[in-house]
Amino acid sequence: MKTALVLSLLFMTPLTSYGSSTDKDGVPMVDIHGKIIVVKPATISNGWHVPEQRVRMISVNDKQIPLQEFLLTYCQGKFQNETCSRGVTIKHMDSSSGPREHLPKGL
């Protein structure tokens, strides 16, 4: 009986901690670099070349959301949070020159 109790606790521990992967501010601990996907391919419209539209996607709880949505959902008023401050910096870089794979060191 004691062995069954210990084994059940060992199996339940990973399940309970899986959903609670947040830091002290309640921001999910994610890879803020995310991955870049093409949401609209490049086209030619009226003789003008329209470049592809790309978005940086962040994986939160096995769901892909855009970086902008992540910042609006989890980072409102959390200016001192490291994940949020790095996310804001990356968002500013993405909005000025488009999302890019290679970011400066430290981001």
pLDDT tens string, the chain, 107 residues long: the values are 455 444 444 444 343 334 448 889 899 999 999 999 999 999 998 889 988 999 999 999 999 999 999 999 999 999 899 999 999 999 999 998 888 888 888 87
d(CA 1, CA 58): 44
Q: What is the pLDDT of residue 45?
A: 86
Q: What is the pLDDT of residue 82?
A: 94
Q: What is the pTM of this model?
A: 0.73
The region, left, alpha or beta by phi > 0 then psi within -120 to 50, assigned to residue 23 is beta
Q: Could you tell me the two tokens for 88? A: 């804001």
| E strand or H helix that includes residue 51 | none
Q: What is the pLDDT of residue 21?
A: 87
